[in-house]
Structure 1
Amino acid sequence: MSSLFIRLYLDEDVNILVADLLKARGFDVVTTRDAGQLHASDSQQLAYAISQGRALVTHNRTDFEALIQAYFVSVQMHCGVILAVRRSPQDIAQRLLVILNQVTADELQNQVRYI
């Protein structure tokens, strides 16, 4: 099923203000706190994001690059992972808005983006 708009899932390392800023712009964003997934492992976080049809946003580059590589090798699908350098919530939200306004959910599938 094709999808136009990216739905985001922010892991617990990402400031919840990012979600608030994006929600204020009308985007569908869920945090680990919203989803009751605090303290879940990285693999559980990604599996949850996939089960909900959401792209995952994280600061945890090292662990998620390895996890995504394992998905690639085993030909497992995901909805996209966005790896964000630690910046202010406003800056991260602005960088996410560029993706949200220019990339479809279908285009982000199985992709990794760096912001």
Structure 2
Amino acid sequence: MKIVADEGVDAPIVARLRAEGHEVLYVAELAPGLRDQEVVALAKEREALLLTTDKDFGELVFLQGLVPGGVMLLRLEGLKPEEKWARVVWALQEHGSQLAQAFSVLTGKGLRIRKLP
């Protein structure tokens, strides 16, 4: 799967996704400080799922109509690094096809998926 990981995503998550065979473009490596609108444009251009920890992307998607290939908001505070990447890998394996054109929220307890307009 093609993924754009915003710079707030933990590096161990990015490393694990790459090890699982996903094509991950990591903003922290590419262009730290990239504006949110540019991150969305990058994900849209690459037809990639955007992984982020930044709730502001919900506003960009729902209020401003900027629609990438899908957004997964990670709300995994308090989990150990291996638990975080395990949750992300699980979500992609079990629900990958549902994440396209959707705004999803992944927590330590579950995954909510809302299709984009």
Structure having the higher strand fraction is 2
Q: 1:1-49, CA deviations, whole angstroms, 9 ceiling, x for partnerless residues? A: xxxxx32111111111111111112222220134x22111111111111
Cα 1:93/1:66, change in 2 over 3 Å? same
The size of the alignment, in residue pairs, is 104
Q: Which residue number in structure 1 is paired with residue 70 of structure 2?
A: 80
Q: Which residue number in structure 1 is paired with residue 20 of structure 2?
A: 25
Q: Which residue number in structure 2 is paired with residue 70 of structure 1?
A: 63
Normalised by the length of structure 1, the TM-score is: 0.78
Structure having the higher helix fraction is 1
Q: Which amino acid aligns with 2:63?
A: A
Unmatched tracts of structure 1, length 5 or more: 1-5
How far apart, in 2, do the equivalents of 1:104 and 1:13 lie? Answer: 21
Task: Percent identity, please.
Answer: 21
CA shift, 1:50, in A, is: 0.9
Normalised by the length of structure 2, the TM-score is: 0.76
Q: Which amino acid aligns with 2:81?
A: P
Unmatched tracts of structure 2, length 5 or more: 107-117
Q: 1:41-74, CA deviations, whole angstroms, 9 ceiling, x for partnerless residues? A: 111111111111111111111x1111111354xx
